[in-house]
Chain A
Amino acid sequence: MIEIGHVTRKFGAAVAVDDVTVTAPGGAITALVGTSGSGKTTLLRMINRLIEPTSGTIAIDGVDTRTLKPFELRRRIGYVIQGDGLFPHRSVAGNIGTVPALLGWDRPRIRARVAELMEMFQLDPAVYARRLPHELSGGQRQRVGVARALAAGPRVLLMDEPFGALDPIIRLKAQDDLLALQKRLGTTIVLVTHDMNEALRLGDFIAVMDAGKLLQFATPAEMLVRPATPFVEELIGTGDRPFRLLALAPVSEIVEPGTAGGPPVPATATQYEALASLAWDGRSAAPVAAPDGTIVGIVTVTGLLRHAARPR
Chain B
Amino acid sequence: MAVSLRPDKVGVLVAVIAAAAAASPFATFKANRIVAGAPRSLFEALPPTGAAILAAVLAVAVVVALLRTPGWLRLAAALAALGALAVAIGAVPAHLTPEGDRLARVGPSTGFWLSLVAFAVMAADASIRLRLGPLARIVAVLLVALGVALLLRTGAWDGLSVMKEYAGRSDAFWREAGRHVALALGSLAAAIVVGIPLGVLCHRVPAVRGAILGVLNVVQTIPSIAMFGMLIAPLAAVAAAFPFLAALGVGGIGAAPAFVALFAYALLPMVANTVVGLASVPAAAVDAARGMGMTARQRLVRVEFPLAFPVILTGIRIVLVQNLGLATIAGLIGGGGFGVFVFQGLGQTAIDLVLLGALPTVALAFSAAILLDAAVEASRGRLA
Contact = CB atoms under 8 A, between A and B. Distances in A.
29 contacts: A50-B287, A71-B293, A71-B295, A72-B293, A73-B293, A74-B290, A79-B292, A81-B287, A83-B284, A84-B284, A85-B284, A85-B285, A85-B291, A86-B285, A86-B288, A87-B288, A87-B289, A87-B302, A87-B303, A87-B307, A88-B282, A88-B285, A88-B383, A99-B292, A102-B292, A102-B298, A132-B382, A149-B292, A158-B291
State the 7 A-B residue pairs at the shortest beta-carbon distance, nearest first: A85-B288, A75-B293, A79-B291, A74-B293, A85-B284, A71-B293, A89-B306
Nearest to A73: B293
Nearest to A102: B293
Contacts of A76: 293
A173 interface: no
A89 B310 CA distance: 12
Contacts of B293: 70-76, 99, 102
A73 B290 CA distance: 11
A48 B290 CA distance: 10
A216 interface: no
A48 B285 CA distance: 17
Contacts of B295: 71
Interface in B72-125: none
B294 interface: yes
A284 B314 CA distance: 72
B207 interface: no
Contacts of B382: 89, 132
A107 interface: no
Given A86-B285, A88-B285, A102-B298, A81 B383 contact: no
A134 interface: yes
Interface string B289-324: 111111100100011001100000000000000000
A98 interface: yes
Contacts of B290: 50, 74
B384 interface: yes
Interface of B: 282, 284-285, 287-295, 298, 302-303, 306-307, 382-384
B311 to A, nearest CB: 13
Contacts of B294: 71, 102
A79 B288 contact: yes
Contacts of B288: 79, 81, 85-87
The DSSP consensus for interface residues of chain A is: mixed
A102 B288 CA distance: 13
Contacts of A48: 291
Contacts of A83: 284
A82 B289 CA distance: 14
Nearest to B288: A85
Residue in B292, B302, B382 with the greatest tally of chain A CB atoms within 10 Å? B292
A71 B287 CA distance: 13
A102 B302 CA distance: 11
A74 B179 CA distance: 52
A74 B295 CA distance: 10
A88 B285 CA distance: 8
Contacts of B284: 81-85
Contacts of B285: 85-88
A132 to B, nearest CB: 7
Interface string A36-63: 0000000000001010000000000000
Given A81-B284, A83-B284, A84-B284, A89 B383 contact: yes
Contacts of B306: 89
A85 B294 CA distance: 14
A144 to B, nearest CB: 11
Given A72-B293, A89-B306, A99-B293, 19 more contacts: A48-B291, A70-B293, A74-B290, A74-B292, A79-B291, A81-B284, A81-B288, A82-B284, A85-B282, A85-B287, A87-B285, A87-B289, A87-B307, A89-B382, A102-B292, A102-B294, A132-B382, A132-B383, A134-B384
A61 to B, nearest CB: 18
A274 to B, nearest CB: 41
A291 B287 CA distance: 44
A17 B375 CA distance: 48
A88 B280 CA distance: 12
B291 A75 contact: no
A132 B285 CA distance: 14
